[in-house]
Structure 1
Amino acid sequence: PIPSFPPREVLFDYITGRVERSGVKAWVSCDTAVQDCAYDAAKQQFTVTVASTKGGEERTELFDYVLCCTGHFSVPNVPEFPGLETFSGRAMHAHDFRSAEEFAGKDVLVIGTSYSAEDIASQCYKYGVKSVTLSWRTRPMAFKWPANFRTVPLLERVDGRTCHFKDGSTAEVDAIIMCTGYQHSFPFMAPDLRLRTANRLWCNSLHEGVVWTSNHRLFYLGMQDQWFTFNMFDAQAWYARDVILGRLAMPDRAEVEREWAHWRKAEDAIDDTDEARIRYQAEYVKRLHSMTDYPPFDVDAVVERFLEWEQNKHDDIMTFRDASHRSVLTGTMAPPHQTPWLTSFDDSLEGYLPPAAATPKGGRCSLT
């Protein structure tokens, strides 16, 4: 077992290990960018044009089915604020954040209330930021922040290094970090195949959150606002596989529309809380499980882990990563990390794993 909050390098090791052990790499073309994907209804085939990212050579192939699994965290949503273009400090989107070390001793403005805002603000504190100003649009983050943090409404304009907020307050800052989300962007898809949706639990135009409603040979995986991640992606892949193999029959258009409207209405009716959103997505994952032979696990127990994690964050946003959680699959309690998060500056795989886990790379970590 490993501690409950693995850093990037540990997650990378886990993912590459899964790829290597499954043998799927033999079927994958790496260093390849999709340029265009179009559908010929008469032939019931997709024409996909790709180009090598190394040499630029293009090739075109025909496919019976297409699965778009690119995610939706690559094209930043960057709002416009008057004066931002002349800001003389460091202005960036969370997408470009790599380390908080450059913000040591600085006054930083963080815009947004997402996970990125939580994590980046906490990282800046960990690495010795002078002050953090948290700016919100819909509601502030309800955490117990350190004394050098302040919370203000949304930024209105920037004048030099002075930021003006909706409540009339101001702040002098050295850096502005926009944690303002991402756009669902698929420019490589033909317009009639392109998913257009907000970041929400029940996406537009997808049957069971997976199948393109206008063309049942096209699938989009992992496009939802995400609480469940790997297990949900796996369950969606199982569902798409069974549709492709004919194990699951697609309903007629009227039923597709009825099902979609049912889930959208249910999403619109849930309380505006993290717990309600977690439970909604849990029911969705259960539904996918019920339709396929995806290996079962206790989804309700996962919900309880989520709620423990949420409570720990509200108890202390700077120490929740020191908590240990029990595996839903094995029942094993994760060991505590050898160093408290606030004083741990080594995020390498070797620095994170306990000495007993020091074996060759490639799937060393079992994230259960």
Structure 2
Amino acid sequence: MSRRIAIIGAGPSGMAQLRAFASAAAQQAEIPEIVCFEKQSDWGGQWNYTWRTGLDEHSEPVHSSMYRHLWSNGPKECLEFADYTFDEHFGRPISSYPPRAVLWDYINGRVHHAELVPGRLLKDAVRFSTAVRQVSSHSERGYLLTSEHLPTGQQSTEHFDAVVVACGHFSYPHIPAFEGIKTFPGPVTHAHDFRGAESLAGKDVLIIGGSYSAEDIGIQAHKLGAASVTFSVRTQPMGFGWPDTLQEWPLVERFTGSTTHFLDGRTRSFDAVVLATGYRHHFPFLAPELRLVTANTLYPDGLYKGVVFEGARDLYFLGMQDQWFTFNMFDAQAWFVRDLILQRAVLPDPQSQRRDIQTWLTRLKSVQSVREDVQFQADYIADLIELTDYPSFDLDTVVETFLAWKQDKKENILTYRDRCYRSVMTGTLAAPHHTPWMEAFDDSVEEYLREDSSPRYSALSSLTRQ
């Protein structure tokens, strides 16, 4: 009897797992029965924009945290697939910072025509609009998985020999409480439910948080006309050269109506509050003994090679790390999981797995700089690639690209998206977008790909990173 494999989630991680099996199928490997469960009506995960917040049309928690006008906040050259380049997909160079819809088009393009077996596309293996309700161990072998087809409410329970959890960890928001916040008269929104900054035009905005979501929502609000943006940070300031109307203040102490009191004694009134306070690793569909428990870290304890769950056999987690790398890291993980499932690779004994985990955790404790942080994840990916046939690529150059990106942001937080980088896969230098990011308000694929022979930049060379 053929083995049955469940993949939970058809976002970038789940799509990577499907693509890994398709790659093996192209090499004439015998592929087990694959069933991928996706709660949304299409694949893409976070990259599926929805106007909905809170609950979706089936009264399920909305998965995506994407918002209008979201453009990549890191160079596309750092996330490029090693087996499917931007050149191959678009047929010409594009800029280093595409908008969401363009990135969705790219990840969809790689898998759209791929097959598991002749005549059976990857998408045929996905049960869309289907939520996983429960996964539990089944005696000594495999798992029982209960799912629900949301439009009909029909539930089914099936046996699977292995389960790959690929649903990500940016969907369940962490929402701290602040004294008196219930008295604030304006809107209070978590970044997960933020759908655009148009409503913030002319308003004084408070953003609580000091990481990527706070930074990007803040400059989006500035771009779309907010009167002011104040970041309230718990630890160290982000420290960018903000425009005069963007400031960083210490953490909020309490609210009194529209007046916010800060820990340094200052007060200020605001019209709107955005909580950019992060997300939780949350897997309510997994039996308690199967749940990964971790904070957001570069190497979650309990996952051998960052993917194999220590507490159970044939249970895998993709994309659970804090992320510098994204799409190509998910690929490296998916290829390794595929080889374990296909028995191309063999797991060492539990003691050896624990020693390997501990080696990575010990190294992580010694990380003291951004360079070491990025290099840690690059070395982790290299470790995985060495174990599979995933195409190797120049990870050291990607590390340098990340560091240059950090420097670009320090130089000008409003214009770093106008920089151009060179692909480590093809050597192609990105082409400047026809419109500077601060002036680009149409983020559709059609507008982004519109040909313009005269990009509006005064000094192209100053915007190019070799």
Range into which the TM-score falls when normalised by the shorter chain: over 0.9
Q: Are 1:221 and 2:318 matched, yes or no?
A: yes
Among 347, 350, 362, which residue is 1:253 paired with? Answer: 350
Q: 1:193 corresponds to which residue? A: 290
Q: Are 1:83 and 2:180 matched, yes or no?
A: yes
Runs of 4+ in 1 over 4 A off after TM superposition: none
Q: 1:132 to 1:4 in 2, by over 3 A?
A: same
Aligned-pair CA distance for 1:41: 3.6
Query: What is the alpha-carbon distance in structure 1 between the residues aligned to residue 229 and residue 207 of structure 2?
Result: 7
Q: 2:128 corresponds to which residue? A: 30
Unaligned stretches of 5+ residues in structure 1: 357-368
Query: What is the alpha-carbon distance in structure 2 between the residues aligned to residue 95 and residue 56 of structure 1?
Result: 26
Aligned-pair CA distance for 1:308: 1.3
Aligned-pair CA distance for 1:49: 0.2
Q: What is the DSSP-based 3-state SS (H/G/I as helix, E as strand, rest coil) of the residue aligned with 1:264?
A: helix
Deviation string 1:46-73 (CA, Å, 9 cap, x unpaired) is 0000001211110111100000000000
Q: 1:117 corresponds to which residue? A: 214
Among 312, 315, 334, which residue is 2:408 paired with? Answer: 312
Name the Cα RMSD after superposition: 1.1
Q: Are 1:102 and 2:194 matched, yes or no?
A: no
Query: What is the alpha-carbon distance in structure 1 between the residues aligned to residue 313 and residue 156 of structure 2?
Result: 25
Aligned-pair CA distance for 1:351: 1.1
Q: 2:109 corresponds to which residue? A: 17
Give the alignment's TM-score, normalised by structure 1. 0.94
- Does structure 2 retain, via aligned residues, the 8 Å contact 1:101–1:127? yes
Q: What is the DSSP-based 3-state SS (H/G/I as helix, E as strand, rest coil) of the residue aligned with 1:132?
A: strand
- Does structure 2 retain, via aligned residues, the 8 Å contact 1:221–1:233? yes
User: Given residue 6 of structure 1, which amino acid in structure 2 is its aligned partner?
Assistant: P
Aligned ranges for residues 137-286 of structure 1 at < 5 Å?
A: 137-271=234-368, 273-286=369-382
Higher relative contact order (CA 8 A, sep 6+): 1
- Does structure 2 retain, via aligned residues, the 8 Å contact 1:2–1:354? no
Instruction: Report how many aligned residue pairs link the two structures.
Output: 354
Greater Cα shift, 180-189 or 345-354: 345-354
Q: 1:4 corresponds to which residue? A: 96
User: Given residue 309 of structure 2, which amino acid in structure 1 is its aligned partner?
Assistant: W
Q: What is the DSSP-based 3-state SS (H/G/I as helix, E as strand, rest coil) of the residue aligned with 1:287?
A: helix
Query: What is the alpha-carbon distance in structure 2 between the residues aligned to residue 124 and residue 276 of structure 1?
Result: 32
Q: What is the DSSP-based 3-state SS (H/G/I as helix, E as strand, rest coil) of the residue aligned with 1:36?
A: strand
Deviation string 1:20-49 (CA, Å, 9 cap, x unpaired) is 12231111111100000001242x020000
Q: 2:432 corresponds to which residue? A: 336
Aligned-pair CA distance for 1:17: 1.6
Aligned-pair CA distance for 1:88: 0.6
Q: 2:23 corresponds to which residue? A: none
User: Given residue 315 of structure 1, which amino acid in structure 2 is its aligned partner?
Assistant: E
Aligned-pair CA distance for 1:15: 2.0
Q: What is the DSSP-based 3-state SS (H/G/I as helix, E as strand, rest coil) of the residue aligned with 1:14?
A: helix
